Structure 1
Amino acid sequence: MPPGITTLAADAPTLSAANTGFMLICSALVMIMTPGLAFFYGGMVRVKSTLNMLMMSFISLGIVTILWVLYGFSLAFGTDIGSFIGWSSDFAGLSGIGITQLWDGYTIPVYVFAVFQLMFAIITPALISGALADRVKFTSWALFITLWVTVVYFPVAHWVWGAGGWLFELGVIDFAGGTAVHINAGAAALGVILVIGKRVGFKKDPMRPHSLPLVMLGAGLLWFGWFGFNAGSWLGNDDGVGAVMFVNTQVATAAAMLAWLGYEKLRHGSFTTLGAASGAVAGLVAITPSGGAISPLGAIAVGAIAGVLCAMAVGLKYRFGYDDSLDVVGVHLVGGVAGSLLIGFFATGGVQSDAKGLFYGGGLDQLGKQAVGVFAVLAYSLVVSAVLAFLLDRTIGMRVDEDDEISGIDQVEHAETAYDFSGAGGGAAPRTTGSAPISDSTAAAQTKKVDA
C-alpha cells in the first residue's frame, strides 16, 4: 500500500472522480468484511456464544472509528517520528484537512484515503476475537481493543505503510496487510490466549460450529469484500496494478480452498464446508501481502501452499495445548507469514515494483527483507498483546466466571439469546415453578452443564 503525506504543491495531481469513486466503493467493501467476519465467527461457535461473537466484531466498528478520527490516522500516517510512529496535528480529529486536499502523489482526497485505511484498522482487532470465543468479558474486550489499536496497530501500520516507517524504508513488501493486519492480529491472538487460558472443557467437550450456513455466508462476504481490501490498496488503477491484484485475489483464494479440501480429504476422508470456508480465508490472507508482486501462476502457488500449511497448522493447538478457539493463529498468523515470505520466492519484478524473488533471479535479498518484517511484527504484537492482556486480567479481569462460561456468555454479557425457540410454533412453553415462569437465564444458570 503506497504511503504518503498531504501536499498542496502547485504540481500536485488533480482530483480524479473515477479513482475517488473507486476508492469509496472499495472502502465500503472493506467495511462489509467486518460484519462478514462476525457471521463467519458467529457460525463457528456454539449457540450460547453466538451473539457475543457477533458483538466482539461489531464493537470494533464503533471504538476504532472514534479513535481513528481522534488520533489514530495521525499516529499511523502523520509525519514520521524516528521511523516508529507518525504525528501531524492537521490529522488529529481530521480537523486540518481541506475537502479537496489530495493524498500526496495520488488523485484521491485525503478524506478518502483516511476512511479506506480506517476500515483496515477496524477489522484487524476484530480478527483477534475469534481466538477468544466463549470466555472474555465484553467490557474487558472493548478496553483491550482501545489499548491494542493505540499501542500496536497504529505504530505497526506506520512501520509498514507510513512515509518514513522503518519497514517501508527497508523495502519490505506488504501490498494490503499481510504483516500489518494478519500477522499482527494472529500474533496478538496467540499472546492473549497464552495469558487467559483455555475454555472450560477444551479437548474434552464437543465444541462444534452451531451453524455452518452462517460460516459459509460469512466466508462469502469476506471473499467479496476482499476485492476492495486488496485491489483498492493501490489507491487507483491508472497503471493496471490494481487489476492484477484483483485477479490474483480470486486465483489464490480458489487455489487455497481446493488445496485445503484436498488435504482434508487425504487426512480425514471428507470434504467439509468448514474446510472450504477456512481454505478460502487462508488464500485471501496469503495473497494480501503478495498479490501485487506476483503473477497469476504465482498466485496459484501461493494459494495452494497457504491452503495446505494452514490446514496443517489448525491442529497444532491440540498438540501444544493453546486454545485458539476459531483458528486465528492457524489461519491468519500462518497464512500471513506464508504469504509474506513467499514474496521472496515468487516476486516477478514486473508488477508493483522491480523487486524480484529467488525464482526470478533476485537471489535471497527480498526474502531476507520479508523475514525481517514478518518476525519484527510477530514479536512486537505477541509480546505487547500478552502484556496488555496480563494487565487487564490482573486489574478488571479478562474472563467471565466459570459458571457463566458454562451456562452461556450471551445471557451473561448481553442478556439475550441468538435463537428464540419459545415463541409461536417454536417449541415447548416456558417451565414454571408455582405460578411464576422461569426465565431463560435462570434456567440456564440452574442447568449449568448445558453445552449448546
Structure 2
Amino acid sequence: MEATDVWTLTSSALVLIMTPGLALFYGGLVRVRSVVNMMLFSVSAMGVVGMLWIVFGYSMSYFADGESGFAGSPFKDFGLLGSDPAGFIGVGFGAVFAMITTALISGAIADRVGLGSWVLFSGVWATLVYFPVAAWVWGNGWIMQLGSMLGAPDVIDLAGGTAIHINAGAAALALALVAGKRRDFGPGSHKPHSVPLVTIGAALLWFGWIGFNGGLATEVADAGLILVNTIGAPAAAIIGWLVVDVIRGKKPGVIGAASGAIAGLVAITPSALNLAPLWALLLGLIAGAVCAWSIDLKYRLGYDDSLDVVGLHLVAGLIGSLYLGFFAFDDGLFTGGDGGLLLVQAIASFSVLAYSFIVSLAIAFAVKAVTGLRVPSEVEEAGIDAIAHGEEAYALDETELAGTR
C-alpha cells in the first residue's frame, strides 16, 4: 500500500471522529433537557448519510468520462457492487466528509425538532444538495471547470469552504426559518449547559481537522503548510473573537474561545494549501472577529439559529473562500493576480449558497408538511430527551436536575 493511501486511511479516521466531536460540541451548547436529542442528530446523520453514500451518493459525487449535467449518475457505482476495492479508501474518505457536512446543519434547530423530521430532512438534503454540490466542486463538475470556462484561475476549495461550510450554513438558515423560533427566544434565554462538553467537542474537531484539511496532501511540503495553517488560523481566530467580546463589553469565556477556534478552522478549510502562514493568521483574526459579531445578527433579524451554524459556518466559509481572491499564492489580488481568482471564488461561493438555501427551504417545507417538523409545544417545554428518547444526559435526582435547568 502506498504511503498516500495510508495517510488517506488515517485522515478518514480523523475526520470520522469529528462528527461525534460535533455531537459533544453541540450537546454542551444546548440546555440539559435536550442534550440526547441534539447528540442523536449528529449520530443519526452518520447512519443515514453513511448508508446513502455507499448506495448511490458516491456515484453522484463525481462525473465519469462522458457524464455531464446536475450530478453523476447514481447507478454507475450503485451499492459499490461492481467497483474496484482498490479505490475504496477514497470512497471512505468521501463518506466521512458527507457525514460531518450534514450533521453541521442540525445545530440550527436545537430544542424544537423531532428526530424523525431530522432524519427525513438529512437524507433528502444529502441526496439533492450535498452529493451534487460535491460533484460540482471536486468531481469534475462546473465549479471545478469554471476557471477554464472564464479564462481565469481555477476555483480553489481544498476541503470544503463551498461544498461543506457555505452549503451547510445556507441549509441551516433555511431550516431554521421553516422550523421557527424556540420558546422564549432572545439574548441570554438559552445558555449552554456544559462548558466542559463544548471544550472536549471543540478539541476533537480541531484534532480531526488535521485530516480534514490535510487528507489529500501528497507531498511533505504540502502537508507541512496545511498543518501550520490549520494550527495558525484558528489560534488567531480565538484572539480575534475574544478581543471583539471585550470591546463590546462581554466577559471573555471558554465558549467564545472555542467558537473562535471553529470560525478559524472553517475559514482556513478552503485555503490551507494556498496561503502563506502570515496571511493565514490574518484570515483567522478576521474570521474570529467577524463571526463573533455576526452571531448576534439572529436577534436583530429574527431567525433562531440555535447554535450559530449560520454565524460560524456560512459566514466564515464565505470569508475563507473569498479571502483567497486577495491572498492566494500567485493569483490573489495582493499576490500578483488580476482579480480573476476573486471572480471565480465569488461565483462559486454565492452559487452554492443560493442553490443550497433554495433547495433546503423546499425540502424543509416538504418535511414540515409530512411530519410537522417540530415536536409538540408541551414536549418542547418539558424536555425532548425524557419524552421522545427515554434517556437523560445525566443521572441526577429531581433536586439536582432542577438546579441545572
RMSD: 1.8
Equivalent in the alignment of 1:212: 195
1:65 aligned counterpart, secondary structure: helix
Q: For residue 418 of structure 1, report the CA deviation from its aligned partner.
A: 0.8
Answering whether residue 40 of structure 2 is matched by residue 59 of structure 1, we say no
Candidates 8, 11, 33, aligned match of 1:48: 33
Letter aligned with residue 174 of structure 2: G
Contact in 2 for aligned 1:36/1:219 (Cα 8 Å) = yes
Contact in 1 for aligned 2:178/2:365 (Cα 8 Å) = yes
Contact in 2 for aligned 1:252/1:284 (Cα 8 Å) = yes
Equivalent in the alignment of 2:145: 169
2:72 aligned counterpart, secondary structure: strand
Answering whether residue 342 of structure 2 is matched by residue 361 of structure 1, we say no
Candidates 275, 281, 296, aligned match of 2:256: 275
Instruction: Output aligned runs, 1:52-451, within 5 Å.
Output: 52-79=37-64, 81-87=67-73, 89-100=75-86, 110-163=87-140, 165-170=141-146, 171-203=154-186, 206-232=189-215, 234=216, 236-238=217-219, 240-349=221-330, 356-422=331-397
Provide the C-alpha distance between the structure 1 equivalents of 2:89 and 2:16, rounded to a whole number of angstroms. 13
Contact in 2 for aligned 1:345/1:367 (Cα 8 Å) = yes
1:286 aligned counterpart, secondary structure: helix
Provide the C-alpha distance between the structure 2 equivalents of 1:404 and 1:361, rounded to a whole number of angstroms. 58
Contact in 2 for aligned 1:406/1:451 (Cα 8 Å) = no
Letter aligned with residue 287 of structure 1: I
Provide the C-alpha distance between the structure 1 equivalents of 2:306 and 2:274, rounded to a whole number of angstroms. 33
Letter aligned with residue 293 of structure 1: N
Equivalent in the alignment of 1:436: none
Q: 1:126 to 1:276 in 2, by over 3 A?
A: same
Provide the C-alpha distance between the structure 2 equivalents of 1:259 and 1:138, rounded to a whole number of angstroms. 36
Provide the C-alpha distance between the structure 2 equivalents of 1:308 and 1:158, rounded to a whole number of angstroms. 32
2:334 aligned counterpart, secondary structure: helix
Q: For residue 239 of structure 1, report the CA deviation from its aligned partner.
A: 5.6
Provide the C-alpha distance between the structure 1 equivalents of 2:192 and 2:74, rounded to a whole number of angstroms. 45
Letter aligned with residue 107 of structure 2: G
Q: Which structure has the higher relative contact order (CA within 8 Å, separation 6+)?
A: 2
Provide the C-alpha distance between the structure 2 equivalents of 1:93 and 1:287, rounded to a whole number of angstroms. 34
Q: For residue 93 of structure 1, report the CA deviation from its aligned partner.
A: 0.9
Provide the C-alpha distance between the structure 2 equivalents of 1:293 and 1:266, rounded to a whole number of angstroms. 32
> What is the number of residues matched between the two proteins?
397
For residues 97-152 of structure 1, the C-alpha deviation after alignment (integer angstroms, 9 at most, x for no partner) is 2233xxxxxxxxx1111100100000111000001000001101001111000000
Q: Bigger shift: 389-398 or 222-231?
A: 389-398
Contact in 1 for aligned 2:36/2:385 (Cα 8 Å) = yes
Which of the two has greater helix per residue? 2
Letter aligned with residue 303 of structure 1: G
Provide the C-alpha distance between the structure 2 equivalents of 1:381 and 1:180, rounded to a whole number of angstroms. 10
Provide the C-alpha distance between the structure 2 equivalents of 1:35 and 1:451, rounded to a whole number of angstroms. 24
Unaligned ranges ≥5, structure 2: 147-153
Q: Computing the radius of gyration over CA atoms, which structure comes out larger, 1 or 2? A: 1
Q: Bigger shift: 303-312 or 410-419?
A: 410-419
Equivalent in the alignment of 2:9: 24
Unaligned ranges ≥5, structure 1: 1-14, 101-109, 350-355, 429-439, 445-449
Q: For residue 270 of structure 1, report the CA deviation from its aligned partner.
A: 2.1
Q: 1:273 to 1:204 in 2, by over 3 A?
A: closer
Q: 1:348 to 1:271 in 2, by over 3 A?
A: same
Q: Bigger shift: 83-92 or 317-326?
A: 83-92
Q: Which runs of 4+ in 1 moved over 4 A?
A: none
Contact in 1 for aligned 2:24/2:39 (Cα 8 Å) = yes
Provide the C-alpha distance between the structure 1 equivalents of 2:187 and 2:157, rounded to a whole number of angstroms. 40
Provide the C-alpha distance between the structure 1 equivalents of 2:218 and 2:225, rounded to a whole number of angstroms. 10
Letter aligned with residue 93 of structure 2: F
Provide the C-alpha distance between the structure 2 equivalents of 1:292 and 1:53, rounded to a whole number of angstroms. 33
Provide the C-alpha distance between the structure 1 equivalents of 2:51 and 2:142, rounded to a whole number of angstroms. 27
Q: For residue 366 of structure 1, report the CA deviation from its aligned partner.
A: 0.4
Provide the C-alpha distance between the structure 1 equivalents of 2:290 and 2:322, rounded to a whole number of angstroms. 13
Provide the C-alpha distance between the structure 2 equivalents of 1:88 and 1:58, rounded to a whole number of angstroms. 25
Letter aligned with residue 179 of structure 1: T
Letter aligned with residue 280 of structure 1: A
Provide the C-alpha distance between the structure 2 equivalents of 1:395 and 1:20, rounded to a whole number of angstroms. 44
Q: For residue 265 of structure 1, report the CA deviation from its aligned partner.
A: 1.3
For residues 308-337 of structure 1, the C-alpha deviation after alignment (integer angstroms, 9 at most, x for no partner) is 111110000011010010000000000000
Q: For residue 206 of structure 1, report the CA deviation from its aligned partner.
A: 2.2
